[in-house]
Structure 1
Amino acid sequence: MDLPKQINQLEADLLELRSLLEKSERKRVQELLKQEQQKVEKELEVKRQQNEQKTRREADSSAASKAAYTVKITNYAWDQSEKFVKIYLTLKSVHKVPSENVEVNFTERSFSVLVKDLDGKNHQMTVLNLLYPIDEKNSYKKIKTDMVLVMCKKQTTKKWDCLTKVEKQSKEKDKPSFDENADPGEGLMSMLKKIYAEGDDEMKRTINKAWTESQEKKIQGEDMMGL
């Protein structure tokens, strides 16, 4: 017999014992009925606890069997005001999940977002090494239609030129360096070589074509000079 049926039987026994106890007149019979009533009540309590534990295990097992896999949030943008840095995360139908499924945690130099069970997946984003410190206690999130807005409260009123230190370092690394005493032609050639090396096939074809045409014009010019 499964637990729910056992619980039903014990509940029925307990009702009957209480009814008999009310009707009984002899003290000895009353004592015996009370003892049996206590035994049934204890057994009923144990069975109810067992049933609750079984129900929780089944629920956990069911949740685990359909546990969502986690994907990174890549569709986002950021903006700022004097007091806040605002990160806009585009997630279709995010406003339809329970608000507790959208978790945002802040530290002085980072924030992380976890959206649970949205379209059968967990969506996650972690941003480390923020350019400047934020006030994590006064930072917060807003859930809008198809969007999560992360509001990072600045500790100081200051314009940020990028979101993270990594972005800033990347920008500084990509900036062309200029030497006032260098040959301008060599600098241009170095830049073209860099673009060619890092470019895709279409970019390389474009550079090759431009180079070929410039060489042809140069040769034609030299021929004209020789006439």
Structure 2
Amino acid sequence: MHIPDIIAHRGSSRECLENTLAAFTRALEQQADGIELDVHGTADGHVVVHHDPVLTLERGGDAGGAAAIRELTLPELRRAQLRGGHPVPLLDDVLALVGTKATVYIEVKAPRIEAAVAALLDRHPTVRTAVHSFDHRIPAAVRMIRPTTEIGFLSDSYLIDPAGMLRPTAPGALWQYTHLIDEALVISAHERGTKVIAWTENDPVRAHLLASWGVDGLCTDVPATIRAAFYP
């Protein structure tokens, strides 16, 4: 039986606060094959793991308001706390944590941080990594800077002409919204040498259906549940 890679969406995000070191640590404990996360850039050039461009902060247990990541410096970021007192991780922190235990899939949410992301990948050469984005120019730009980087394109539309989208840049993976995947799409992507990763799939029954079509990865909020569906 074909078993897709199980990729923890922002870590084990049903059990822990998403995009935190706690969520990533828990996903590794649950034997996820991959860790997916989101990044933005600070005012002084550091790459921060967070989904939204704005942080909602807590300080000393009290609400601290909101701050745009691109306007914060690293010292200001280090003073910030997320809900539950979690620190805001840097991509550097996560790559050091994961090491060789899993692949780190980096969704770049902000433009003009491609060089900073590429430099961090160079800093952690033993970590398996890949870069993807809804803005397909971003992973292509990272690969221009660092040609060995695996890249992927995110999509939340059904592709009438998958080959036409994939041919010019030849990404290694198509990250497709799970409910817009069918077998024909998987076949078309595979004919171009492109893997298909479904996001975000939390249903074990549909996970098996996707696997039967040859989907290569399942990005999920519940990595332990999806793993148990294939390794009972």
Structure of greater relative contact order (alpha carbons < 8 Å, 6+ residues apart)? 2
TM-score computed with the length of structure 1 as normaliser: 0.22
Instruction: Return the index of the structure with the highest Cα Rg.
Output: 1
Which has a greater percent of helix? 1
TM-score computed with the length of structure 2 as normaliser: 0.22
